[in-house]
Amino acid sequence: MNASSTATPTGTWPMYRAMVGVGLVCGILIVTVFRVTLPVIERNQAEALQQAIFQVLPAARSSETFQAVDGGFRPLGAAAPTGELVYGGYDDSGALIGLAVEAQGMGYQDIIRVLYGYSFEENAIVGLRVLESKETPGLGDRIETDPAFVRNFERLDVSLSEDQTTLAHPIHAVKTGEKEHAWQVDGITGATISSKAIAEILDRSGSAWVPRIRRALDQFRKADQP
């Protein structure tokens, strides 16, 4: 850093020696710690993901990750996660219950990231978990804590239009207490923008993913299951 001020007669060699020596030791230390902690971190991440999936698909008992490929989906297995992922949820007997899908969009303060569960049987969103949000504490963060708002996502209709290409009814937010249809989201007073943002995120993601998922329904079933 201060190499320009060569006032003291230090040779080049001690400088190289010092930098390379320290760099070497630091490198070894970092790689060792990385190696030791990596399995623990990966296990933590897998557990957190599994927990989130079970929360948005309450009936699920096991899960599997799928990767979107041309014309459908493929089980990820042990491969490194790349591209777009969806997570299948299965009950005790291994029968497919639904899929968990990640979505994101702009909220009031910053990006909101959510995971939602889609149930084939009900043709509806059956659970929602906010993975990441910086919404205003006490106001916007009620999208996570407000019980009435959370109840919206116990059964939010996402049935498809007749030609199976998009949602029959776009998901949108309405004023508190004015929810009439199963595809409307009852908003939060004082957190209009945040609750609208959630509805928009679900609408955009739902109209893109639900038709794709339904077309590829059989690819998610386990081989020995009907």
Partner 1 sequence: MNSDPLWSIFINASLINNFVLAYFLGICPFLGVSGKMETASRMGGAVTFVMLVTAVCAFGIQQLLLLIDAPYLKLISFIAVIASTVQLVEMFIKKMSPTLFRALGIFLPLITTNCAILGLALFQTNKGYGFLQCVVYALGAGAGFTLALVLMAGLREKLALAATPDVVKGTVLTLVLAGFLSVAFMGFAGLGS
Partner 2 sequence: MTDVRSDHGPSPTDEFLKGLWKENPVFVQVLGMCPVLAVSNTAENALAMGLATMFVLVLSNAVVSMIRSFIPRQVRIATYILVIATFVTVVDYVIQAISLDLHKALGAFISLIVVNCLILGRAEAFASKHGVGRSILDGLGMGIGFVVALLCLGGVRELFGSGSLFGVRVFPDQFQDWVVMILPSGGFFTLAAWLLLFNYLKQRRARPGPAVEVTS
Among 15, 26, 79, 95, binds partner 1 (CB under 8 A): 26
193 contacts which partner out of partner 1, partner 2, none, CB within 5 to 8 A by kind? partner 1
> Going by C-beta distance under 8 Å and a sequence separation of 6 or more, which residues neighbour residue 214?
120, 160, 164
Nearest-angstrom CA–CA distance, 73 and 212: 9
Looking at the Cβ atoms of 26 and 148, the one nearer to partner 1 is 26
Distance CA 80, CA 90 (A): 22
Residues 135-164 touching partner 1, rule: CB under 8 A, are: 136
By CB under 8 A, what part of segment 196-225 binds partner 1? 197
Tell me how far apart the alpha carbons of residues 217 and 96 are, in angstroms, rounded to a whole number.
Answer: 9
Q: In terms of CB distance, is 30 or 79 closer to partner 1?
A: 30
Looking at this protein, which amino acid is placed at residue 151?
A: R
Q: Does 1 bind partner 1 (CB under 8 A)?
A: yes
Binding residues for partner 2 (CB under 8 A): 1-3, 5-6, 8, 10, 14-15, 17-19, 21-23, 26, 29-30, 33-34, 37-38, 40-41, 44-45, 48, 132, 136-139
25 binds partner 1 (CB under 8 A): no
Q: Nearest Cα to 122, choosing from 87, 154, 89, 170? A: 154
**Angle in degrees, CA 61, 41, 62, rounded to 5:** 10
- Nearest approach, Cβ of 46 to partner 2 (angstroms)? 10
Q: Which does residue 197 bind out of partner 1, partner 2, none, counting CB within 5 to 8 angstroms by kind?
A: partner 1
Torsion sign over Cα 106, 108, 109, 113: negative
> Does residue 209 sit in helix, strand or coil?
helix
Q: Write out the binding residues for partner 1, residues 117-136 only, by CB under 8 A.
A: 134, 136
Question: Using CB under 8 A, which residues numbered 33 to 52 contact partner 1?
Answer: 34
How many Cα atoms within 13 Å fall on the side-chain side of residue 180?
2
Q: How many CB atoms lie within 10 A of CB 105?
A: 17
Is residue 16 at the binding interface for partner 1, with CB under 8 A as the rule? no
Minimum gap (Å) between residue 194 Cβ and partner 2: 14
Nearer of residues 51 and 159 to partner 2, judged by Cβ: 51
153 with 179: CB under 8 angstroms? no
User: Binding residues for partner 1, per CB under 8 A?
Assistant: 1, 26, 30-31, 34, 106-111, 134, 136, 193, 197
